[in-house]
Structure 1
Amino acid sequence: MAWRCYRATSRFTWKIHANFRESFISTILFVCLLFPFTTEAGLYTASDQVVVLTPDNVDSVLVNSTAALVVEFYASWCGHCIAFSPVWKSLASDIKEWKPAVDVAAIDCANQDNGPICSRFGVRGYPTLKFFHAYSKPDSKGEGFRGFPRNVRGLRHKIINKMETHAEPWPPACPPLETASRAELDNFFETNSVGHLALLFETSNSYVGRELTLDLLQYENIAVRRVLSTEDGLVAKLNVTDFPSCYLYSPSGIFTRLHVQLEARTFYTYALQRLPGVVRAGKPLPVTSDLAKNTTEDQLRPFNRSRVYMADLESTLHYSLRMELAAHPVIKGEALSALQRYISVLAKYFPGRPVVNNLLKSVDTWLKGEKDTELSYSSLRDALDNTAEVPNAALPKGVRWVGCQGSKPHFRRYPCGMWTLFHVLTVQAEEAADKDPQEVLQAMRSYIHSFFGCQACATHFENMAQESMSHVGTLSSAVLWLWSHHNHVNNRLAGALSEDPHFPKIQWPSPELCPSCHGVKNGEHTWNQEELLTFLRSHFSSEHLLSDYLEEEAQLLSRQKERLVTRHQEQEAKRGAERRARQTQDTSVKPPPEEEEEVAKEEPAEEEAERAGGKVQMSEPPPWVKPKADVSHQPQRRPSIVGLKFRPPQEEIVDLDAFINQHYKALRAAARVSSRVKLRTLQKKEQPGAGLEQGPVLLLGMQPVEPEDLLGQHNMLQKRILTGKYTGSEEEGALEMYPHPNKRRWMSLLSVGFSRLDISLCVLLYFLSSMCLLAMYLFFKNCRRLRRAKVALP
């Protein structure tokens, strides 16, 4: 009866699930019809470490491959496939070190181009997992995973079981997964040239030994063998009591136990990969003595790997703001918004020295005040160089890597500094209790998308951000999000050419750095989130930063001042060179041939007069007097108020050479008129004794002038020319340099001229105001006397 009830309940539950599944699938189909582009995108990208199969590469990947492959056939519109995709990505990341023996792939059957491939392999439902052995034939359809688990650990065990069913001959890329006997171990070093042999003692149903063997597959100078607990002779010889446990066997015949924090796969792998002499295949063996040499352009500095250095953060700022942004001469649109968010976050949360913080805040204020839709990098560079001379503000120039230094110039450095900088900013934002938990992450995302030089890196980070950044809802989750995705990148780049052999990319923090951050659950490694968050807050706090190798603030400000002075001098020299070039270009222009002939005729008369030792009075203005421009082309002047005329600002010194070159034609015309006047004056009959030495000179249309007055007026004219003042008009001709005395200002105060009428009005107003004040005084005095008299009456 109970069995029947159970069956009936199961049938009823199955109907409910069936109806729910049908409605769910209908909803997904409806969404796919509305948004057909989702079927083309797929669920996996290159940054997920999953091989994406297409019609172009499916045969080359699956057929006759040296490695086994486990493939997921999915449809991007399938809800179960979408829910399963994070597990598949985690699996690819977890068994990344197994790649010479087995790899993870996926193909989107919802894509029309991939439809024939899915039909070829007999796929009818999604998701479907198939295992392809190494050296599969073209007609192979793979072995299906029936009832496969939906977790990484179960899938890992399934893959190992499939790999062990491979027929002979055994694939050379796959290591031996069977158990080892004592006889094999006694002769192991005679047939194998390795420095370490790791023996993992475990029970028969344990997978740790086989997983550890595959984890060390890409490493040289070490081998792993699993020994079952039933191997009594070897167990008794080493006195093994814990299963699992790991022992190291050296060529000298010595057995030593490998001490780890927890007896689990992850801790074994981490410890064995860092044994002396163990190195990834294809990588040079790191030699400690090389670190003592100058293998980079800077001397390698001793540092503490467990601390963060302010020198790295300031070096990152310099490279980011002065090197990477310099590749964008004009910043506009989305890039300008990204720059503003980036600088704003730095100004709010960067835990730097006062001089650096002051500069970041000044740049942030300047950017917020800019209203243009685009920004030139030259103006940003001026702000970074503090050309506005904001007091006590400077950003060091150059890089000085300490915690992020690499063994070679192309290792670590700026990428390490960028990760460290944003880790520090997320922790500082949490300490400040800001309202927006994604402020720092979004600033990092937009900066990397718009400015980061490595385009592939920017694409990978954008893929990670699109996947899960929107789920960040608290400041602490922002700190953990950045940490987890940094580890994801470390896992993806482990073993790449960009990995520094002295600083291998690991899942950080290591067990040595934070033992309490690690744990084991059901035999699997886990992270203790609370302990991890406490560690991150302490590690990236402002109090934990080291100030070693920093330049002194006083020296930094002094160098900045010297650079600004040098820059001003260079700008002045450049402007002078440009001015001289313009003058040379102007003087290189020759006058027309007609003017040259007239000048040639006039020069003998001038030379003859000079030889005679006499001075000739001119009725035209001298050639250095600035001719008045055409009134029709002059801008409208402001009307005078009560006789006051505001004079334009005057220059203290006038470059006469530049002035003459710029007004060459006008001066030549004035010179010709002056010469003609001289000739007419010399030809005119002079009265006896009427020379400059004997009496007044009678000019055309002028009153007699004494020589002393003429000399004084000539000196006054030269003074006016040097001070840049010109009077008169073109109609006045030669009389403009000798203005009438009535036209002069009677008084000049603060560069404003006052006429006699102005002074008279002022005196009159002053007199009237004085009379008014006197009348008011007498009136109030009389009123006061009357009031006292009334009070005195009985």
Structure 2
Amino acid sequence: MARRCGRATSRFAEKIQTSPRKTAISAALLCVWVLFPAAAEAGLYTSSDLVVLLTPENVGSVLVNSTAAMVVEFYASWCGHCIAFSPVYTRLARDVKEWKPAVNLAAIDCAAEENRKICTGYKIRGYPTLKVSRCTHEAAATGGNFPRDLRGLRHRIIDKLETHKEPWPPACPPLEPTSQAEIDNFFETNNVQHLALIFEEPQSYVGREVTLDLLQFENIAVRRVLNTEEGLVAKLGVTEFPSCYLYYPGGNFTRLQVNIEARTFYSYALQRLPGVVRSGRPPPASPDTLKNRTEEPWKPFNKSRVYMADLESTLHYSLRVELAVHAVIKGVALKSLKKYISVLTKYFPGRPVVMNLLKSVNSWLQSQSADEISYVALKEILDNTAQVPNTALPEGTKWVGCQGSQPYLRRYPCGVWTLFHVLTVQAKILGGSDPQEVLSSMRSYVHNFFGCRPCAEHFENMAVESLMEVNTMSAAVLWLWSRHNRVNNRIAGSLSEDPHFPKIQWPPPDLCPACHNVMDNREHRWNKEVVLPFLLSYFNSSRILTDYLDDESQVLETQREKHKQLTLAAQKHVERKTREALDSNMQFPPSQATEQGEGEEEEEEEEEGPQDEAATDEDEDGGEGAPAATEEEEMEEKPEPTSWANPENLGGPVQRQAHRRPSIVGMRMRELQEDIVDLDSFVNQHYKAKALQLAASSRVKQRTLQRQKEQDPRPVLGLGMELDAGLGMMGLQPMEEDFELNVGQQRKQLQKRDLSSQVIGQEAELSYKGRWISVLSIGFSKVDISLCVILYFLSSMCLLAMYLFFKKRLRLRRAKIALP
């Protein structure tokens, strides 16, 4: 059996004695940290780096009780050598990220006041100093002279793991060479799907590095085989060192095909073998399974191409969703938005309708001289409410190349990266003059509007670090590419990683083999002379696919239909508000007309009096010789029976009164109710018997001045109705429902009984004046106007009396003065 790393090592001879007052010192330092919490962020490393920032609060859990071997850098932020070494240490943290939980990197700024006691406890006398903290219950660490290059640092960490005596860290995989005896019995004692054998020379570190690179993955095991293991070498026919073979139960094997026999290519190929997944993560789903997991059907796509559907979906989400959370955009954010839209207008390779929309938005934004705008005004331009021809931005998202295996994976973040890669490439191809134009607009947009605030902070840290070094258009393209790979490295293995689309260093060897190269020491390096042309070709507008896009005419038609619906909804809203305003100006709620048919509403016009009085007025206006309508003609014009409940048939200026509920206990003020009356049922159920009785006993024929026709019979009420009318003038309502009638109706009906032309003439004059009173009163009743007139008269009389009183007193006083 191969020995574990814990058994094959000896313990470090050097030990650092801990202070007996460590607990008290830690408590005091904790108080200092509470008072100065930002000290950790003031050093050479930030939270965006894969380096644990040590403080008095977490030093115990990180260095004492950690289950991983901790490589700690003790530095001073004022030290020039520390500043020069910090990029190397940051790259080391990214390079050995997959070695967790066996190895982790930390750093502490000894120049900070609250950290000085910790650095003193570890006997730090010079900067920078690297130490490896043991996984024990003691705060001990071993140091020594560490190299200052990435490859040397990585090898020194492996040496430290192999030379200790105690089995730490517990997660450390076997790093020593294996034997043929172990390989023959391997599948009997290990439940894995793949066994990778890396054949190398004794001084090579490739096998151990790949073993640590696969530490976080399941269903695969990696073993190192030296070229001196002649049995295995002969059995597999190995002739090159290093080389990698996949070994299976039964003695079957096959060579792993890679472009270059080096650590990076081995790790990439082994991590993507069938069934190999990160620990605790589900395996990648097949396309058939993805159809049931996402909101939309899975769209097959070409991984080597960019899709316009992703770019337009990104624009929609950015402009209509992310910006919408800002009701008012002002100050720096407004400048950022103007720059963002300006860059999109110049370099976005969109369809004509989308480009017209971006130009409209850009023109509108540049014309805004105020320091702030509302998003509502911006949305009107985005939705093209002015209906500018051939201008539209499709609504909704339709992810293709950025779709994920789950609705919450990839999508918009992938679209943002793709969009800005395309913009940097377009700026390079179109001959942009400012190398930082696209990158600075991306930086300001992410800083002000991007919804993921920690993501915005990480991007800002990268921009502060090196964005000012970009001085050419090619450098801008490569800067964004390298920072995208850094982000991929940082979030690889996190919950946001889609198992169907793992975070890798892009482009992978199978997509661009020439982009990868190795140095003389077998270290991987990017061939940037090849990477740049690949990026310019991959994100070129001529290679963007338009699959899954709606036709431009369909987009415009959808926009027109939406605009029509919004216009109709706005008109209905205005009409409803207008009706509410008119109703609020009336004393009582308006009566609703009887149903004329299905879905029809009859608009009633206010009339001065009943139809017989209207006919009389028309005769008077038309002259004495105008013929009067016959009784039969009037019956044809009025097919519905006259009802007391119909306010159009009552005398006086028409103000549709609500139906008043009677009571037999006493009098009460009028209550406003909805005047929705079914004339037939109302007459039949409530007034039929009494109406017929009154009409039979005291029917009076109304006469006009010409006496050429008789009007429709109207019921004339007795003392009960007159009393009711009198109570109505006082603002009270009777408690008897069957004897309700308007006061103006009683007065006009009594006037009609007088056959003299003088009464009729006065009635016409009152009718004419009633119109003006109705107009000038603006919703006030005659009772209100009468009270106002009475109060005005009384106040005038009071003033006149006061005037006469004081005038008399004044005369009396003057008379007394005149006496000798």
Do these two structures clear the TM 0.5 threshold for a shared fold by scoring above it? yes
What code does the residue aligned with 2:525 have?
T
1:563 CA displacement: 0.7
Report how far residue 81 of structure 1 moved. 0.9
- 2:538 matched residue in structure 1: 539
SS at match of 1:538: helix
Q: Is the 8 A contact 2:40 2:55 kept in 1?
A: no
SS of 1:416 mapped into structure 2: helix
Measure how far apart 1:91 and its partner are.
Answer: 0.3
Sort the Cα spacing of 1:372 and 1:623 in 2 relative to 1 into closer, same or farther, 3 A. Answer: farther
Counterpart of 1:293 in 2: which secondary structure? Answer: helix
Query: Counterpart of 1:382?
Result: 380
**Correspondence for 1:485:** 483
Q: Deviations over 1:362-405 (max 9, x none)?
A: 01101111122221111111111100111100011111111001
> How far off is 1:666 after superposition?
10
* 2:475 match: secondary structure: helix
The answer to whether structure 1 residue 138 and structure 2 residue 138 are counterparts is yes
Output the CA distance in 1 between the equivalents of 2:777 and 2:67: 83
Matches within 5 A, 1:752-791: none
| CA deviation map 1:696-732 (0-9, x unaligned) | xxxxxxxxxxxxxxxxxxxxxxxxxxxxxxxxxxxxx
Give 1:664's aligned residue. 779
Q: In structure 1, what is the equivalent of residue 576 of structure 2? A: 577
| In 2, Cα distance between equivalents of 1:392 and 1:88 | 54
Q: Which amino acid aligns with 1:534?
A: P
Matched with 2:231 is 233
- State the alpha-carbon separation in 1 of the partners of residues 279 and 289 from structure 2: 21
Alpha-carbon distance between aligned partners in 2 of 1:662 and 1:474, rounded to the nearest angstrom: 78
**CA separation in 1, counterparts of 2:111 and 2:289?**
53
Q: Which aligned pairs between 1:107-506 and structure 2 lie closer than 5 A?
A: 107-133=108-134, 135-140=135-140, 142-146=141-145, 148-169=146-167, 171-288=169-286, 290-291=288-289, 293-506=291-504
Q: Which amino acid aligns with 2:375?
A: Y
Cα shift at 1:424 = 0.5
Question: How many residues of Structure 1 are paired with residues of Structure 2 in the alignment?
Answer: 604
Q: What code does the residue aligned with 1:152 have?
A: L
Task: Identify the residue that residue 69 of structure 2 maps to in structure 1.
Answer: 68
1:78 aligns with 2:91: no
Given residue 334 of structure 2, which amino acid in structure 1 is its aligned partner?
Answer: L
Distance 1:439 1:86 in 2: 26
**Contact in 1 for aligned 2:40/2:53 (Cα 8 Å):** no
Offset at 1:615?
4.7
Cα distance change of structure 1 residues 546 and 230 upon mapping to structure 2, 3 Å threshold: same
Contact 1:312 1:404 in 2 (8 A): yes
Change (3 A) 1:661 1:349: farther
Report if the CA contact (8 A) 1:394-1:557 is conserved: yes
Q: In the TM superposition, what whole-angstrom CA distance separates every residue of 1:735-773 from its partner, at most 9, and x where no partner exists?
A: xxxxxxxxxxxxxxxxxxxxxxxxxxxxxxxxxxxxxxx
> 2:559 maps to which residue?
560
Report the Cα distance in structure 2 between the residues aligned to 1:534 and 1:369, rounded to whole angstroms.
Answer: 39
Residue 286 of structure 1, CA deviation: 2.0
Secondary structure of residue in 1 paired with 2:349: coil
Tell me the distance in 1 between the aligned counterparts of 2:471 and 2:727: 84
SS at structure 2 position matched to 1:200: strand
Alpha-carbon spacing, 1:259–1:667, altered in 2? closer, same or farther (3 Å): farther
Determine the C-alpha separation between the residues in 2 that align with 1:662 and 1:285: 80
Per-residue deviation at 1:451?
1.1
Quote the residue 2:50 is aligned against: 49
User: What TM-score, normalized by structure 1, do the two folds share?
Assistant: 0.72
Give the secondary-structure state (helix, strand or coil) at the position aligned to 2:292. Answer: coil
Q: Is the 8 A contact 1:74 1:106 kept in 2?
A: yes
Structure 2: runs of 5+ lacking an equivalent:
1-37, 590-654, 656-668, 671-725, 732-741, 790-820
Describe the shift of the 1:660–1:181 C-alpha distance in structure 2 as closer, same or farther (beyond 3 A).
farther
Q: 1:624 to 1:94 in 2, by over 3 A?
A: farther
Letter in 2 for 1:582: A
Provide, for residues 69-121 of structure 1, a one-character-per-residue CA deviation record: whole Å limited to 9, x for no partner.
Answer: 10001111111111111111100000000011010000011111111111111
Partner Cα distance (1:587, 1:248) in 2: 91
* Contact preservation (8 Å) 1:623, 1:670: no
Tell whether the 8 Å contact from 2:39 to 2:112 is kept in structure 1 after alignment.
no
Q: Is the 8 A contact 1:309 1:402 kept in 2?
A: yes
User: For residues 149 and 191 of structure 1, what CA distance do their matches in structure 2 show?
Assistant: 39
Give 1:457 shift: 0.8
Counterpart secondary structure, 1:62? helix
Q: Is the 8 A contact 1:324 1:453 kept in 2?
A: yes
Report if aligned partners of 1:623, 1:671 keep a CA contact under 8 Å in 2: no
Structure 2 counterpart of 1:426, which letter?
A: T
1:664 CA drift (Å): 2.8
Equivalent residue of 1:546, what SS?
coil
Q: How far does the alpha carbon of each residue in 1:49-88 deviate from its partner, in whole angstroms, 9 at most, with x for none?
A: 1000000000110113211010001111111111111111
- Read off the aligned partner of 2:99 and give its amino acid letter: W
Change in 2 beyond 3 A, CA 1:39/1:554: closer
In the alignment, which residue of structure 1 is the partner of 2:640? none
Whether the 8 Å contact between 1:301 and 1:402 is mirrored in structure 2 is yes
Sequence identity of aligned pairs in percent? 60
Indicate the SS of the match to 1:136. Answer: coil
Q: Report the Cα distance in structure 2 between the residues aligned to 1:372 and 1:438, rounded to whole angstroms.
A: 27
TM-score by length of 2: 0.70
- Any conservation in 1 of the 2:99–2:215 contact (CA below 8 Å)? yes
CA shift in 2, pair 1:460/1:204, >3 Å: same
Shift in CA distance, 464/414, structure 1 to aligned 2, threshold 3 Å? same
> Which residue pairs with 1:517 in the alignment?
515
**Conserved? CA contact 2:587–2:780, under 8 Å:** no
Contact conserved, 2:285 with 2:405, CA < 8 A, in 1? no
Q: Is the 8 A contact 1:261 1:511 kept in 2?
A: yes
- Alpha-carbon separation, structure 2, partners of 1:306 and 1:269: 22
Q: Which amino acid aligns with 1:53?
A: L
Are the structure 2 counterparts of residues 589 and 145 from structure 1 closer, same or farther at C-alpha, using a change threshold of 3 Å? Answer: farther
**Post-superposition CA distance 1:336-374 (Å, at most 9, x none):** 111111111111111010001100110110111112222
Contact 1:358/1:393 (8 A) holds in 2: yes
Task: Supply the distance in 2 between the matched residues of 1:421 and 1:139 (Cα, whole angstroms).
Answer: 49
- 1:189 Cα deviation after fit: 1.1
* Contact 1:406/1:412 (<8 A) preserved: yes
Give distance in 1, aligned partners of 2:136 and 2:785.
101
Secondary structure of the residue that 1:387 maps to in structure 2?
coil
TM-fit CA distance, 1:661: 9.8
Closer/same/farther in 2, CA of residues 175 and 601 from structure 1, 3 Å limit = closer
- For 2:775 and 2:449, the matched residues in 1 are separated by 52
Secondary structure in 1 aligned to 2:197?
strand
- Comparing 38-47 with 154-163, greater Cα deviation is found at 38-47
Q: Which secondary structure state, in structure 2, belongs to the residue aligned with residue 46 of structure 1? A: coil
* Distance (whole Å) between structure 2 residues aligned to residue 601 and residue 293 of structure 1: 76
Cα 1:61–1:596 shift into 2, 3 Å: same
Letter in 1 for 2:152: G
1:170/1:598 Cα in 2 relative to 1: closer, same or farther (>3 Å)? Answer: closer
| Other structure's SS at 2:130 match | strand
The residue aligned with 1:91 is: 92
Structure 1, unaligned runs of 5 or more: 1-36, 628-658, 675-794
Whether the aligned pair in 1 keeps the contact of 2:311 and 2:415 (CA below 8 Å) is yes
Offset from partner CA, 1:464-500 (integer Å, 9 cap, x none): 1111111111111111111100000100111001111
Give, in whole Å, the separation in 2 of the partners of 1:491 and 1:292. 25
CA drift at 1:663: 2.7
